[in-house]
Amino acid sequence: MGESAESVVRRSHARSNRARILAVARQEFGANPEVTLDEIARAAGVVRRTLYGHFNGRAALLEALADEASQALRDALAVATAPTRPVEGPERSLARLVVGIWQVGDRYRVLLSLALQDLGVERVEELLRPARHAVVAAVERGQDAGVFHRHLPAAVLGSALEALTLALLEAVNAGAWEDPAGTATATETLIALGVPTETAADVARDVSTVDGPAR
């Protein structure tokens, strides 16, 4: 027997509520990391029981946000490294990758201040692993082409670039900096790898303009 129309509507409503709660939670945690679940429920326009029906506590809500961020990151990486893209130079490929990663990181940067405390080191490592692998592969390609510095192994450079990106996201969290499109971050990444400043800025700006924000 098929599902009744009432059940379909009920499930659709539940999915809508869950998505709204997650979207509001991301905003509320960003404004106040100590926000309570009751405050999130009110901001989302749902009763406390509805929120707890989807997430049985703060940890479950943050884990759901982590899952959402993980999927968004994988999607961004897939777009940036799609095999259907025209062949392009290592600088442009890496800039495109950094812009995609940055836009996801900027959207979920609240997790940076909460992740280690609420999710744990292993979970954070799991979330960042796909981006790490993609960046290291892009750096290796640029080193092989003689475009990026070879004074450090690609994996070490990848770790340094990750630290730079995380520091810049923390600066945004602190209200000390803004880079909504990721253009400046891509520029600084290329400069750190030995690309001349003007070339790095031109490449990053071109990639950001062509692809546009992934929001």
CA distance 205 to 181: 9
Tokens representing 113 are: 């201040």
- Cα angle 129, 114, 139; round to 5: 25
pTM of the model: 0.86
The pLDDT of 97-111, averaged and rounded, is 91
Confidence grade of residue 173 (pLDDT, cut at 50, 70, 90): confident
CA distance 201 to 214: 20
The pLDDT of 140-158, averaged and rounded, is 96
Residue 213, pLDDT score: 47
**Which comes out higher in pLDDT, residue 12 or 147?**
147
Torsion angles phi and psi, residue 2, rounded to 5 = -70, 165
List, in sequence order, the alpha helices (H) in 32-80. Answer: 37-44, 48-54, 58-80
Tokens representing 1 are: 């027997």
Nearest CA-CA partner of 59 in 128, 123, 146: 123
Q: What is the dihedral sign for C-alpha 14, 16, 21, 26?
A: positive
Residues 6+ apart with CB under 8 A from 41: 21, 47, 48, 50, 51
The pLDDT of 125-130, averaged and rounded, is 90
pLDDT of 175 strictly over 50? yes
Residue 19, pLDDT score: 92
Residues 6+ apart with CB under 8 A from 42: none
CB atoms within 10 A of CB 188: 20
Residue 214, pLDDT score: 44
